[in-house]
Chain A
């Protein structure tokens, strides 16, 4: 007769939690009730009710004799601790690798999470920050530097919005203010902001002295941050004192505020009244809008009304917007509102204030952190199981002595949490080391700070518990499910399952590591290529001085005459840009017939010595020269690309007119060989060089390399005599390298990740090897008895793993080729992806694999067959 049975899953759940002595009764009741319900209500209801039964019976009475558990927990705890310590000290190598691997995973996770936390914390430290918004605009078609979005708005927008939009509570106009602050004889070059009288209504900064309402009312007022106030005035009260900013005198200090928070994306050391800005004062006098140079920030009474405000803009624009001085204004503009908290993650916008972050990159980093942690946990699990195999006999004995399965699980879990705690401590030490480096790498002030970061300590403990539980649950369950019969058997080898999952994970880890090795290699080679490529100009021994002082620029001629006296100064010039980064461009007509200017051409202005100083080759015509009348500025030197773009050959370009019939003629007097005036991401663009001796952004001075320090001191003195601005100098070589700082950082990042991935992958392989070799000790013993040599055993053991690694490597080749190819394509000048990159990377991975398995296979090969076969 067939018995109707309750659902299998319900029975399994019951069997899982229920103690043996209660199980029979409960299961019997389950059966009987099921049968009754089937008759009364039908099968479906009966099935559901069975699950309800099973869940309802999950109560203390079903878990075993309660008095037994009480005694065990308190007394056994000491025993567990003793056993754990004993095991760790007996298996030092494994324990160390286990703790180290987990610590590494934890440290990476924590470091990256600190960074992610920091990124998401930008611009949130203001009171009522949800109500603070800003306006930005899109000028459809006016693409500059890759986007047609602009963060700058008309000067009058803030006051207009305040007048016309009832939803707006406060609004302010802000602009960047950078320059020299002078107090008596002291000069301070500072970066700050300029705002109107309502600045502090929108940005409620913490005030140390002075009142927010009055701080920027007076057009000649300035507010300092704590540090700047201390720097300028020491411990005196700065309020009421007078300062000069740029060339304007008479600014009164009205208040002192706290230093800009490290989570503020715009850093400032002072806030000055915006009336210092002539453009602003001018614009505010007009009724209509014809400028876009300022930032508009505002607060809403009700944060949900943001879209309403946005919808009202088109009407506002048509009311106030004047056409500009362009012949026609071809770009339709649309205004948008954006919450202050979103500004940081909005990078594709021109002329915005402050630091920008890439939200995608932050997410990617978060995912990477999680993956690394998971891999570390998985590796831990594998290695823990391996360690536990040795203890299988202990487990068997405990069970025989009456340990309930629950107790064993608790014992193993406690052990893994203890190891997690140790790993956490080690990882915190690692994090202290890693965070400054990571912060430098990402150029953000990431910090590990237990005092300000309130969730950090509890978060870490929570993490430790979760990691301990996750990593420990699988080994704990596996170990506690072992039947004493199996492990206490004389023959000894314990068989465990789950190997294919481990193998798959190893393949993944090695594939990822391989990909990272390739990436590091390619980035490194490309950077070397950039560093060593012939640029078309000299880099060595040239000192450059940044010129912010307009007056200083005009003094070039007299200064260079002075310098000519110094035997260690070889040459000097002044130029609008340095050859490595010519960022100013204009448009001209490429052909006489062209209707409008259609050729983008870069422009540099400099004087006689430039080409010689930088070793730029002239291939036709002549350089600027005192023998001719170049000072009129009508004569130009072009580069080869420009000549071609204008439809000429190098020879017949001399004497031609660039202006194509417009106003004044622009005569070509010489052609230079193409040189790299931008990063190698760009091809060489057309360039025109014109003459100027008293305007420019940089002095370039070629000096005697043996007397560097002397010359620097000499130059500093001579320039300080001529200008109060600080002496900003840099060697041209360093300036050039800085252009590629983001690529260099990328390379560093990849190298770090590669090392991390390789270590984790080898740990994983080490664990797997230990595990698999352990399973085969008897087989190896037999082989040795039958005459296999050491080498044969090594080959046997390693063969499997090498297959895994080869699969991983081969599988990873297409994807890594694809990614690196795309990355390289961004460079106009680049290396080729050569086949030996992949070979070297593959060999490297195989080497790593060998080292990981090495220990295991040697041990297996050297093991005495007597020991392994003792049991037979």
Chain B
């Protein structure tokens, strides 16, 4: 299994957010879009795992006053990551086609 369910979600959000993907931003998006509210610990754990698997890279920067002057860790999706996402997605679609009554649309 290349990607766990939660990891996949996080990776998707990282891809979506592009340059702005860091801890709190990812958390907020997951909250709005997916109605999921992961703890900051779970989130960072997943991000570290994604990095160690090579799906994302990280860089530091963006210290703000709200953070008490502390820098953020930005995550960027890699080409490998994008490829893995599409593979996983494709797999899902193939399986979904076999379920009668399941209508899917891809925007």
* 8 Å CB contact of A26 from B44, B63, B68: B44
Q: Please name all residues of chain B whose beta carbon is closer than 8 Å to the beta carbon of A5 when the two chains form the complex.
A: 68
- Whether B39 lies near A25 (C-beta < 8 A) is no
Question: Does B66 belong to the interface (CB within 8 Å)?
Answer: yes
Given A1-B65, A3-B68, A24-B70, check contact A59 B24 (CB 8 Å). Answer: no
In the bound complex, how far is the Cα of B64 from the Cα of A28, in angstroms?
9
Give A90 Cβ to nearest chain B Cβ, in Å. 43
In the bound complex, how far is the Cα of B65 from the Cα of A59, in angstroms?
27
- Whether A3 lies near B71 (C-beta < 8 A) is no
Give A382 Cβ to nearest chain B Cβ, in Å. 38
Q: Please name all residues of chain A whose beta carbon is closer than 8 Å to the beta carbon of B42 when the two chains form the complex.
A: 56
Question: Does B67 belong to the interface (CB within 8 Å)?
Answer: yes
Question: Does B93 belong to the interface (CB within 8 Å)?
Answer: no
Q: Give the one of B27, B45, B65, B66 with max A CB within 10 A.
A: B66
- Whether A31 lies near B66 (C-beta < 8 A) is yes
- Whether A31 lies near B70 (C-beta < 8 A) is yes
- Whether B68 lies near A59 (C-beta < 8 A) is no
Per-residue contact bits, chain B 68-97, to A (CB 8 Å; 1 contact, 0 not): 101111000000000000000000000000
* 8 Å CB contact of B71 from A24, A53, A60, A61: A24
Given A29-B23, A32-B66, check contact A57 B41 (CB 8 Å). Answer: yes
- Whether B72 lies near A28 (C-beta < 8 A) is yes
Closest residue on chain B to residue A53 by CB atoms = B40
Closest residue on chain B to residue A60 by CB atoms = B45
- Whether A36 lies near B24 (C-beta < 8 A) is yes
- Whether B44 lies near A31 (C-beta < 8 A) is no
* 8 Å CB contact of B66 from A35, A55, A58: A35
Question: Does B48 belong to the interface (CB within 8 Å)?
Answer: yes
- Whether A31 lies near B68 (C-beta < 8 A) is yes
- Whether A29 lies near B40 (C-beta < 8 A) is yes
Within 8 A of B (CB), among A54-74: 55-62
In the bound complex, how far is the Cα of B72 from the Cα of A5, in angstroms?
17
* 8 Å CB contact of B70 from A25, A33, A55, A62: A25
Given A25-B23, A35-B66, check contact A56 B39 (CB 8 Å). Answer: yes
Per-residue contact bits, chain A 22-46, to B (CB 8 Å; 1 contact, 0 not): 1011111111110110000000000
Given A25-B23, A36-B24, check contact A31 B67 (CB 8 Å). Answer: yes
- Whether A61 lies near B24 (C-beta < 8 A) is no
Closest residue on chain A to residue B27 by CB atoms = A33
Question: Does A52 belong to the interface (CB within 8 Å)?
Answer: yes
- Whether B41 lies near A28 (C-beta < 8 A) is no
Q: Please name all residues of chain B whose beta carbon is closer than 8 Å to the beta carbon of A36 when the two chains form the complex.
A: 24, 28
* 8 Å CB contact of B68 from A25, A28, A56, A58: A28
Q: Please name all residues of chain B whose beta carbon is closer than 8 Å to the beta carbon of A1 when the two chains form the complex.
A: 65
Give A64 Cβ to nearest chain B Cβ, in Å. 12
Q: Give the one of B27, B64, B68, B71 with max A CB within 10 A.
A: B68
Q: Please name all residues of chain B whose beta carbon is closer than 8 Å to the beta carbon of A31 when the two chains form the complex.
A: 66-68, 70
In the bound complex, how far is the Cα of B40 from the Cα of A505, in angstroms?
44
Closest residue on chain A to residue B58 by CB atoms = A25
- Whether A61 lies near B67 (C-beta < 8 A) is no
- Interface size in chain A (residues, C-beta < 8 A): 26
Q: Please name all residues of chain B whose beta carbon is closer than 8 Å to the beta carbon of A62 when the two chains form the complex.
A: 41, 44
In the bound complex, how far is the Cα of B23 from the Cα of A53, in angstroms?
12
- Whether A32 lies near B67 (C-beta < 8 A) is yes
Within 8 A of A (CB), among B1-57: 23-24, 27-28, 39-42, 44-45, 48
Give B75 Cβ to nearest chain A Cβ, in Å. 11
Interface range, B side: 20 to 34
Given A33-B40, A57-B41, A61-B45, check contact A27 B24 (CB 8 Å). Answer: no
Closest residue on chain A to residue B71 by CB atoms = A24
Q: Please name all residues of chain A whose beta carbon is closer than 8 Å to the beta carbon of B72 when the two chains form the complex.
A: 25, 28-29
Q: Give the one of A1, A57, A58 with max B CB within 10 A.
A: A57
Give A806 Cβ to nearest chain B Cβ, in Å. 53
Give A824 Cβ to nearest chain B Cβ, in Å. 66
Q: Please name all residues of chain A whose beta carbon is closer than 8 Å to the beta carbon of B64 when the two chains form the complex.
A: 32
Q: Please name all residues of chain B whose beta carbon is closer than 8 Å to the beta carbon of A26 when the two chains form the complex.
A: 40, 44
Q: Give the one of A22, A32, A59, A60 with max B CB within 10 A.
A: A32
- Whether A52 lies near B39 (C-beta < 8 A) is yes
Q: Please name all residues of chain B whose beta carbon is closer than 8 Å to the beta carbon of A33 when the two chains form the complex.
A: 24, 27, 40
- Whether B48 lies near A30 (C-beta < 8 A) is no
In the bound complex, how far is the Cα of B45 from the Cα of A53, in angstroms?
13
Q: Please name all residues of chain A whose beta carbon is closer than 8 Å to the beta carbon of B66 when the two chains form the complex.
A: 3, 31-32, 35
* 8 Å CB contact of B24 from A24, A29, A56, A57: A29
- Whether A30 lies near B73 (C-beta < 8 A) is no
- Whether B39 lies near A28 (C-beta < 8 A) is no
Give B15 Cβ to nearest chain A Cβ, in Å. 20
In the bound complex, how far is the Cα of B47 from the Cα of A62, in angstroms?
12
- Whether B40 lies near A27 (C-beta < 8 A) is no
Give B47 Cβ to nearest chain A Cβ, in Å. 9
In the bound complex, how far is the Cα of B25 from the Cα of A32, in angstroms?
10
Q: Give the one of A29, A52, A55, A60 with max B CB within 10 A.
A: A29
- Whether B40 lies near A28 (C-beta < 8 A) is no
Closest residue on chain B to residue A24 by CB atoms = B70
Q: Please name all residues of chain A whose beta carbon is closer than 8 Å to the beta carbon of B23 when the two chains form the complex.
A: 25, 28-29
Given A3-B65, A36-B24, check contact A58 B41 (CB 8 Å). Answer: yes
Give B56 Cβ to nearest chain A Cβ, in Å. 14
Give B9 Cβ to nearest chain A Cβ, in Å. 17
Closest residue on chain B to residue A5 by CB atoms = B68
Closest residue on chain A to residue B38 by CB atoms = A56
In the bound complex, how far is the Cα of B63 from the Cα of A479, in angstroms?
34
Closest residue on chain A to residue B64 by CB atoms = A32
Give B12 Cβ to nearest chain A Cβ, in Å. 20
Give B7 Cβ to nearest chain A Cβ, in Å. 13
Q: Please name all residues of chain B whose beta carbon is closer than 8 Å to the beta carbon of A32 when the two chains form the complex.
A: 24, 64, 66-67
In the bound complex, how far is the Cα of B27 from the Cα of A58, in angstroms?
18
Closest residue on chain A to residue B39 by CB atoms = A56
Q: Please name all residues of chain B whose beta carbon is closer than 8 Å to the beta carbon of A61 when the two chains form the complex.
A: 44-45, 48
In the bound complex, how far is the Cα of B39 from the Cα of A30, in angstroms?
11
- Whether A27 lies near B48 (C-beta < 8 A) is no
- Whether A53 lies near B67 (C-beta < 8 A) is no
Given A3-B65, A3-B68, A25-B73, check contact A30 B40 (CB 8 Å). Answer: yes
In the bound complex, how far is the Cα of B27 from the Cα of A28, in angstroms?
14
* 8 Å CB contact of A59 from B27, B45, B70: B45
Give A730 Cβ to nearest chain B Cβ, in Å. 78
Per-residue contact bits, chain A 691-724, to B (CB 8 Å; 1 contact, 0 not): 0000000000000000000000000000000000
Within 8 A of B (CB), among A355-391: none
In the bound complex, how far is the Cα of B44 from the Cα of A69, in angstroms?
20
Q: Please name all residues of chain B whose beta carbon is closer than 8 Å to the beta carbon of A22 when the two chains form the complex.
A: 44
In the bound complex, how far is the Cα of B68 from the Cα of A35, in angstroms?
10
Q: Please name all residues of chain A whose beta carbon is closer than 8 Å to the beta carbon of B67 when the two chains form the complex.
A: 28-29, 31-32
Q: Which 6 pairs between the two chains have the least Cβ-Cβ distance? A: A28-B70, A56-B41, A56-B39, A57-B41, A28-B67, A25-B73
Subset of 11 A-B contacts with CB under 8 Å: A1-B65, A3-B68, A5-B68, A24-B71, A25-B73, A26-B40, A29-B44, A29-B67, A32-B24, A36-B24, A56-B39
Question: Could you list 9 further interchain pairs (A-B, Cβ under 8 angstroms) beyond the known A25-B72, A35-B66, A53-B39?
Answer: A26-B44, A27-B68, A27-B70, A28-B23, A28-B67, A28-B68, A56-B41, A59-B44, A62-B41
